[in-house]
């Protein structure tokens, strides 16, 4: 979901030619499989595109990315563990760091074992963080 929400933010800001948005997991359990149908249904309900084939994050990608966004602290720790150096570790951030209303709760919960309402809640958390994440990306572009 985060990929598609942020793709829209980037496109609406006119930055889709300058910013690449991509997603992957920390493990390869669902490699090649599409997103959960509830993810796609939630995205469609709220007017977002979708389309996904699961794949694990490859640490060799660190040099190509300015930011690597994790949705929860377990993934944040795992991505930082895989980082080849300090500069790469600093690229790993939690999405909800960019949510001004996060109030210390920085994890986006996994809705997989819950109903559609949980997927809609996750979407709202992602949307809440996306505007400030876009501001961070803009600052990075301006610093180049």
Domain ranges of the chain: 2-139
In this prediction, residues 94-112 reach a mean pLDDT of 95
113-138 pLDDT, tens digit each: 999 999 999 999 999 999 999 999 99
Which pTM was predicted? Answer: 0.92
Residue tagged active-site, from 110, 114, 132, 135: 110
> pLDDT class for 26, splitting at 50, 70, 90?
confident
66 an active-site residue?
no
Task: Determine how many CB atoms are found less than 10 A away from the CB of residue 26.
Answer: 18
Tokens standing for residue 25: 């997991």
Residue 68 has pLDDT above 80, yes or no: yes
Tokens standing for residue 24: 């992957």
The superfamily CATH assigns to domain 2-139 is Response regulator (3.40.50.2300)
Percent of the chain with pLDDT over 90: 81
Q: How far is CA 129 from CA 12, 17, 86, 126, in A?
A: 16, 22, 25, 5
């Amino acid at each position: 979901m985060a990929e598609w929400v942020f793709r829209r933010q980037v496109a609406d800001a006119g930055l889709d030619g300058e910013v690449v948005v991509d997603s992957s997991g920390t493990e390869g359990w669902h490699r090649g499989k599409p997103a959960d149908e509830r993810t796609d249904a939630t995205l469609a309900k709220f007017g977002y595109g979708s389309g996904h084939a699961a794949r694990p994050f490859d640490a060799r990608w660190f040099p190509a990315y300015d930011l690597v966004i994790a949705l929860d602290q377990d993934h944040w720790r795992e991505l930082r563990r895989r980082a080849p150096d300090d500069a790469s570790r600093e690229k790993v951030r939690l999405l909800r760091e960019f949510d001004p209303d996060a109030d210390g709760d920085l994890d986006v919960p996994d809705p997989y074992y819950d109903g559609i309402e949980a997927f809609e809640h996750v979407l709202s958390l992602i949307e809440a963080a996306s505007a400030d994440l876009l501001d961070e990306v803009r600052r990075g572009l301006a610093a180049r």
